[in-house]
Structure 1
Amino acid sequence: MARTASGKEFLDQAKELLANAKSVKELRQAQAMILPLEFNLSLEQTSAITGVSTGWVCHLRTEFIRANGKVERTKSHGGRRRENLSPADEVEFLSPFIERAKVGGILVVSEIHAALQARLGRSVALASVYNLLHRHDWRKLVPDKRHPKSDPEAQEAFKKTPGTDGSDQGRVARGKAHQGDVSR
């Protein structure tokens, strides 16, 4: 013979929970209490109705009884639970690096990585720095056409030097012809 369901003293609270359930867990918990007590269903039948395993029905019932018929509504998971810095702290931390990038400097990831590790007091992965920069649209600030310390005149002069543009003229001028040249 199966054991009789316990928790009759919490039946009214379970009915109230059933009427005011805000989540699926609360609904299932109320059903796990009411179905065996009101309709004399077994745990297997209750699990078939609620859509959870028999062990989970027992767990829901026990949890409800231990809490004296009260269900604490906790906030659901979400947000950045593993954040190194809050979004406001990230903006404050990155502001000197971004200001330097706006005036023509470049963002050097190794410098930011070292500063972040010093600020946090522990080592962090390099990917954390790239993720931090990505969250704050760092790519828009880095000059992408040329290095800010480059010398455009020196580059143009280098292009005008014979033999540095990749053509065959420079090789022939220095006496090094291609193997395909037969003229000697």
Structure 2
Amino acid sequence: MIFILSKRNFISNLLVLFSLIFILLVPQEVFAHATLEKADPAPDSELTESPKEIVLVFDERLEDALYSVKVFNENGERIVNAKPEMSQDQTTIKQPLPDLPDGNYVISYNVISADGHPIRSAYVISVGEETVFQRDINKQVLETQKSSAGATAIKSLVRMLFLWR
């Protein structure tokens, strides 16, 4: 009987080890759900004139009531307060813009995919002359996304293992 328990523990520990190796070695995109397929203006765009709108196209359907697009200037002030419009097929969001003066802008979006998973991200565009601000903020956004995706996967695995025992 002791042999059976220790063998069961060995198999359980082996399963945990393989799960952790899988999580650490497989790219985080495998765990992703709806993703941004196209953005206009695109991330890191250097525009000579102000865009009329922001268009975000996703590869999956989104929840039609749970989405937002926010635009911030270099001072962190929100530029647009109007709610964006979603397409009938629920894959595209359009946010009309006022005339933007020269500067850098952070485009932040928050959506819920049809399968219930939240997707949050941001990117930077530049109108007129680019400054160092654009590259620094984009680097911070990408680092935050990578660390939060890995942490979420590890937390889910730990919860699953505790419930399984």
TM-score by length of 1: 0.25
**Greater relative contact order structure (CA < 8 Å, 6+ sep):** 2
TM-score by length of 2: 0.27
Larger radius of gyration: 1
Tell me which protein shows more helix as a share of its residues: 1
